[in-house]
């Protein structure tokens, strides 16, 4: 079997091994593939893997031997699933691999906002503590989370994992989700969206990007929030109307925001969040600890193994 990985660098920049995949056939791995080279690189391959490279109907038409598309991520919007189903091409994703990592990162952003650890460490290394006339100093308000309300929008696996950590910090957890569960009730209290927006001290987004959730954080919802609320988003960038968030940060209505995702990635230079006050932006790395990426690779390889056996798993369509 010929296997092609079209954009494998972010999954494996060199600290993992493709050996388990190479046992399944003749494998060609590309770090990145520009759109005008996708068809040529797939060629007569039967199985391909992609992360952000779009696999369109045109590409499927031009590569008739393709039988398996493995998405190296949970989201599979890069694939024309309708065309794949019509052509009998199996499309598999990675439904869960980074739950712990993403939840951990959400709390990491929150703790950085509350304590500014990196800033104060840099200040010490610059000599400011050595020359300070008092025995300590701090440049920003320091925030204690115990007793504060964490509102989580989207209370699936990642939202619940985030809630568990928040509870360990002494926070009260409330959540809004279309599908309440007994597991969720053990972690937090389900409330309606309006209650969550109005009462939370911290709002953390862990919901999918759907028409109903696009722009869910906007000037109207922000107006209902407590003054000084903290917003966290390491789910999907378009959940937030970025200009509205930037305006609210600059006015002080929102105290701070932590964003690991933005509406267009890589971020554009004209993104208003880049110049907003107290906005922490990281380059979509919540998912990226080595342990998480190894889990992703293991599942991705197993998806192909199960396909070869005739018992496909994690198929994105029915």
Does residue 69 contact residue 304 with C-beta atoms inside 8 Å?
Answer: no
- When pLDDT is cut at 50, 70 and 90, the band that residue 244 belongs to is very high
- When pLDDT is cut at 50, 70 and 90, the band that residue 153 belongs to is very high
Query: pLDDT (tens digit, 9 = 90+) per residue, 178-205?
Result: 999 999 999 999 999 999 999 999 999 9
Please enumerate in sequence order all residues whose Cβ is within 8 A of that of 135, keeping only pairs 6 or more positions apart, or say none. none
Does residue 4 contact residue 12 with C-beta atoms inside 8 Å?
Answer: no
Query: What is the share, in percent, of the chain residues with pLDDT greater than 70?
Result: 100
Beta partners for residue 68, in sequence order: 47, 90
Catalytic residue set: 236, 265, 284
d(CA 151, CA 234): 14
Residue 69, Cβ neighbours under 10 Å: how many? 26
- Please state which CATH number belongs to domain 2-97+290-309: 3.40.50.720
d(CA 222, CA 225): 5
Half-sphere exposure of 144 (CA within 13 A, CB side): 3
Half-sphere exposure of 100 (CA within 13 A, CB side): 7
**Domain 99-281 in the same topology as domain 2-97+290-309:** yes
- When pLDDT is cut at 50, 70 and 90, the band that residue 318 belongs to is confident
Provide DSSP, 86-105.
HHT-EEE---SS-HHHHHHH
pTM check: above 0.85: yes
| Upstream peptide bond of 266 is cis (omega within 30 degrees of 0) | yes
Spans of all domains in the chain: 2-97+290-309, 99-281
Query: pLDDT (tens digit, 9 = 90+) per residue, 212-240?
Result: 999 999 999 999 999 999 999 999 999 99
User: pLDDT value at position 160?
Assistant: 98
What is the C-alpha radius of gyration for the chain, rounded to an integer number of angstroms?
22
- Please state which CATH number belongs to domain 99-281: 3.40.50.720
Query: pLDDT (tens digit, 9 = 90+) per residue, 58-97?
Result: 999 999 999 999 999 998 999 999 999 999 999 999 999 9
């Amino acid at each position: 079997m010929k296997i092609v990985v079209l954009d494998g660098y972010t999954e494996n920049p060199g600290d993992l091994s493709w050996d388990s995949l190479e046992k399944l056939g003749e494998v060609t791995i590309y770090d990145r593939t520009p759109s005008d080279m996708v068809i040529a690189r797939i060629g007569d391959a039967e199985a391909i893997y992609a992360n952000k490279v779009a696999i369109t109907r045109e590409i499927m038409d031009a590569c008739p031997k393709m039988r398996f598309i493995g998405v190296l991520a949970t989201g599979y919007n890069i694939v024309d699933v309708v065309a794949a189903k019509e052509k009998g091409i199996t499309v598999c994703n990675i439904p869960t691999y980074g739950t712990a990592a993403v939840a951990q990162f959400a709390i990491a952003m929150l703790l950085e906002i509350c304590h500014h650890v990196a800033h104060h460490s840099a200040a010490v290394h610059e000599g400011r503590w050595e020359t300070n006339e008092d025995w300590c100093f701090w440049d920003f308000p320091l925030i204690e989370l115990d007793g504060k309300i964490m509102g989580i929008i989207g209370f699936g696996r990642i939202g619940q994992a985030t809630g568990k950590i928040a509870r360990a910090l002494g926070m009260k957890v409330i959540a809004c989700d279309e599908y309440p569960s007994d597991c969720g009730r053990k972690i937090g209290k389900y409330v309606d969206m309006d209650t969550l927006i109005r009462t939370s001290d911290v709002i953390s987004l862990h919901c999918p990007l759907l028409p109903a959730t696009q722009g869910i954080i906007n000037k109207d919802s922000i107006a209902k929030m407590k003054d000084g609320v903290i917003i966290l988003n390491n789910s999907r960038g378009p959940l937030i109307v970025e200009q509205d968030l930037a305006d609210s940060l600059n006015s002080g209505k929102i105290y701070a925001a932590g964003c690991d995702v933005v509406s267009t990635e890589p971020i554009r230079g004209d993104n208003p969040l880049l110049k907003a006050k107290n906005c922490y932006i990281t380059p979509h790395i919540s998912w990226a600890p080595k342990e998480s990426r190894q889990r992703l690779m293991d599942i991705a390889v197993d998806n192909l193994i199960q396909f070869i056996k005739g018992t496909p798993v994690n198929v994105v369509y029915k």
